[in-house]
Chain A
């Protein structure tokens, strides 16, 4: 068990570009969560999946954000037409099921120039 893996660790891009992040959960974990964390704040929920089904999306997830988990294993988070305010750490977490603890990855730090 290597834990939750996220790629890339860092992403620097110009405003207006599209970016995509990947998360590989712990093997056999059915639930996968995306959070966003800005400096000095706790993680804020974005969206989560039960297997391949996206069950909930936060109001923080504007229509420029889309997430997928096509085969119920890894997930991708795409941000289109990036804005300065999108600069943050994007964290992925997974859990075996709805009643088990969530374990986080190291995150992808996004910087918008």
Chain B
């Protein structure tokens, strides 16, 4: 089955700097890759997703890139703000067939 590895497990950045979180997946059939943000004690919230027919997607300060050949995808957050501090999870699935397989998460701390 699918296996998703996520790095780093913790990340500290200064406010205004960029943050990058990377994930690799094992199943070449996976074609849908969402990212969730989870604040302490709250639900995972979908922040951005990408499908395998595109290589990059942007939404304001957040972008995701996908390299199908290398089977990895990354989350990029620019101009970080203290409210970006949270745990971020990547996930992968073969959309339509299987549930999401999540990485173990990255705890992002944005230092003011």
A-binding residues in B (CB < 8 A): 4, 6, 32, 34, 36, 42-46, 49, 89, 91, 95-105
Contact = CB atoms under 8 A, between A and B. Distances in A.
A40 B100 contact: no
A91 B89 CA distance: 14
A42 B100 CA distance: 10
B99 A105 contact: no
Nearest to A34: B99
Given A98-B95, A105-B43, A45 B101 contact: yes
Nearest to B44: A104
Task: Classify the interface of chain A: helix, strand, loop or mixed.
Answer: loop
Nearest to B51: A99
Given A48-B99, A56-B99, A101-B34, A42 B43 contact: no
A91 B99 CA distance: 13
A103 interface: yes
A33 B99 contact: yes
Given A42-B89, A42-B91, A98 B44 contact: no
Interface string A83-112: 000000001000000110111111100000
Nearest to B105: A42
Given A42-B4, A103-B46, 16 more contacts: A33-B100, A42-B102, A43-B44, A44-B102, A45-B100, A48-B99, A56-B99, A98-B96, A98-B97, A101-B34, A101-B46, A102-B34, A102-B100, A104-B43, A104-B44, A104-B45
Contacts of A35: 99-100
Contacts of B42: 106
A2 interface: no
